[in-house]
Amino acid sequence: MPKTLRRLKADRDVMRLQHLLSSHGYFKDRIPSDGIFEDITHENVVLFQLQHVDQNGNPLDADGVVGAKTWWALQNPSGEAQRNHLEPVIPEGLTGKRRQLLEVIYEEHGKPVFEVPDGSNRSPDIDDYWGPTGVIGLPWCCAFVSWALHEVLGSYPIGGKHHLGVQNMWRNARQLGMEASHPKPGDVFIQIKSGGKGHTGFVVGVSADGQSIYTGEGNCGNRLKIGKRKLSSINHFVDCLQDGQTTEFSRSAFNVKAVDAQGTR
């Protein structure tokens, strides 16, 4: 088992780490120094951790430290290893627009949508998520959020833009007074780390104890995924629909689907 790695420690395993990250589609903006765990590598490790789960299906801690769980995810970045087989649920007590939004998310999830090839940030469906921007082949979690909102509303609610990056989308939403204090299905979740790297997706449910959210998020394990994240791991929530949705909606666990012997991608 490779040793635990931290920032600014030159090591052969850092070269292995950088090679794995690069093969999974990271480092597209800047190429790091081989074998040096500097800021560029650290930022891309954090982004990888935001977008992947460990061998138990739990989101990785996005701390930039490459320990056993992150090594496992680097070696198992997609396919069955990154699935948790959660059964999509539409909670009771939602407005019509929120139900419609969850239906769109679940329809895309059911196709299923995944990168072809792994690490490319591309497929016919993923390319569509960029809408009129003319951009393809970049990390696409934010593009999926903009696309889904436009599918339901017929417009782009966050400043009239089809957003490309999490940080700018969050800034615009905050300026428009869209920040939500409590997550509701149909809200957008925001995760931002140092260096501006971030991740985003939709809240599709809230656990009964209120400590976790269920999510519909693109660019997670190289696919469109239904997942579960601790509430404490989320920086902000955005209510783009502004439809008066209350916190009086049903909360329950999402069940795990039965999987046949062969499984599915």
Greatest alpha-carbon span in the chain? 54
Pairing of strands 198-206, 212-220: antiparallel
Q: Is the pLDDT of residue 38 over 90?
A: no
Average pLDDT over residues 78-93: 92
- At residue 87's C-alpha, the angle toward residues 130 and 128, to 5°, is 10
Under DSSP, the state recorded for 211 is S
Q: CA-to-CA distance for 227 and 215, rounded, in angstroms?
A: 5
Q: Which of 13-27, 66-80, 236-250 has the lowest mean pLDDT?
A: 13-27
Model confidence over 153-206: pLDDT tens digits?
A: 999 999 999 999 999 999 999 999 999 999 999 999 999 987 778 999 999 999
Element (H, E) at 30: none
- Does 46 have pLDDT greater than 50? yes
User: What is the rounded distance in angstroms from the CA atom of residue 90 to the CA atom of residue 82?
Assistant: 23
Q: What are the residue boundaries of the structural domains of the chain, listed by start? A: 12-77, 84-238
Tokens representing 173 are 């939403």
User: How high is the pLDDT of residue 259?
Assistant: 52
User: With 0-12 CB in 10 A as exposed, 13-18 as middle and 19+ as buried, what is 165?
Assistant: middle
- The pLDDT tens digits of the residues spanning 115-139 come to 999 889 999 999 999 999 999 999 9
